[in-house]
Amino acid sequence: PAAAAGTVPPAATATAATGGGEESAAPAGGVPAAPAAAAEASSFSPVTATAENPAFSAPIAVTPGAALAAAPAETLTDQTELGPLPRLSKTGIKPWIYYGRDYARSDKPMIAVMVTGLGFNRKMVEDAVRLPPAISLAFSPYGPSGNIWAAAARAAGHEIFIELPAEPADYPASDPGPHGLLTSNNPQENLTRLRWVMTRMPGYVGLYLPPQERLTANADAAAPLLQFIASRGVMLVLGAATLPEAAERLLTTLVLPVVRADIYSGEESTVDFSGLLLQLEDLAHRNGRALLVVQASPGVFKVLGDWAQRIEEKGYSLAPVSALARIPNS
């Protein structure tokens, strides 16, 4: 359940990984203040707030016990030169389950929401973390303080995901950045870049592949990446309902939990967001479940927050994204 507006729970300590295996305690009853600038986006190291881009404006009240499992868990982590890389434990524990948010199954239709595009704008991250904790959050791997903001999100109970910088359909007009996964790269270069992406922050449940990408249309480029993702025990969220045929065939051969967006709302969307939420409810009512993936924007947060506070009363169950993978689709 979401934290009641304006409430600060009794003293509780959450831990936020600050890089290099160090942890810092959160203030009692709140999410750790999230520094927002680092010397270099690619470094996994402690960061501090600056006057130009300060920490969260105020502690964020959370429900007692909302914080997710501490991360990185030693048994689920390979410490690499790039940072902590998730892995299956020797006893078969999977990171996507261990780091996921608990969810009690009910007979109500399940609705999951994931907000993407986080990691650069402090105000947007703060607004996202203040959403009900069942809403999952996806961070860019390039955010200068992504590891700290992501830890704050987890302390508030949000599942976190990392966005894959896959080659977009209009590349090079749109650039996926210096660690972009490009069809023109050789497989080893893309794997090196993927490892960099997957070591940006600890405690994430999975990776998010945006829609309108063309990486998966190239089977030779996509196969080693999907196989590596599957081998690390994390899940995959697709912004598109389907992938090219070769990629879909490959997914059937992998032990890789995959969840697909039923509705996607991008940054440039002109569709009425309240109307999309009604469509989401209708899909969940008809299919028993539905996933909305929405790009973060100032106009989204208030509408989404108000809607999420009422959705249980309307007969639906607000679920974390991982619940859609844990519970078979009947």
Give the model's pLDDT for residue 86.
98
| Domain housing 266 | 72-326
Q: How confident is the model at residue 329 (pLDDT cuts 50, 70, 90)?
A: low
Give the model's pLDDT for residue 64.
65
137 pLDDT more than 80: yes
The answer to the question of residue 250 being in a domain is yes
As a whole number of angstroms, the distance between CA 81 and CA 199 comes to 9
Q: How confident is the model at residue 57 (pLDDT cuts 50, 70, 90)?
A: low
Give the model's pLDDT for residue 67.
85
Give the model's pLDDT for residue 235.
98
The answer to the question of residue 7 being in a domain is no
7 CB-contact burial (10 Å; exposed 0-12 / middle 13-18 / buried 19+): exposed
Count of the separate structural domains present in the chain: 1
166: β partners: 181
Q: Report which of residues 269 and 87 the model is more confident about.
A: 87
- Mean of pLDDT values over 183-212: 98
Taking CA 286 as the corner, what is the angle to CA 280 and CA 290, rounded to the nearest 5 degrees?
40
For 82-132, what is each residue's pLDDT tens digit?
999 999 999 999 999 999 999 998 899 999 999 999 999 999 999 999 999
Q: In whole angstroms, how large is the CA radius of gyration of the chain?
A: 19
For 214-256, what is each residue's pLDDT tens digit?
999 999 999 999 999 999 999 999 999 999 999 999 999 999 9
Q: Report which of residues 200 and 25 the model is more confident about.
A: 200
Alpha helices in 254-320, H assignment, sequence order? 273-287, 298-311
Q: How confident is the model at residue 20 (pLDDT cuts 50, 70, 90)?
A: very low
The answer to the question of residue 32 being in a domain is no
Give the model's pLDDT for residue 145.
86
66 pLDDT more than 90: no
As a whole number of angstroms, the distance between CA 135 and CA 303 comes to 13
Q: Count CA atoms within 13 Å of residue 228 on its CB side.
A: 18
Among 56-60, 126-130, 256-260, 315-319, name the one with the lowest average pLDDT. Answer: 56-60
As a whole number of angstroms, the distance between CA 203 and CA 286 comes to 33
265 pLDDT more than 70: yes
253: β partners: none
Are 133 and 62 in contact by the 8 Å Cβ rule? The answer is yes
- Mean of pLDDT values over 40-46: 32
- Mean of pLDDT values over 198-217: 97
Q: How confident is the model at residue 272 (pLDDT cuts 50, 70, 90)?
A: confident
Which CATH number is 80's domain given? 3.20.20.370
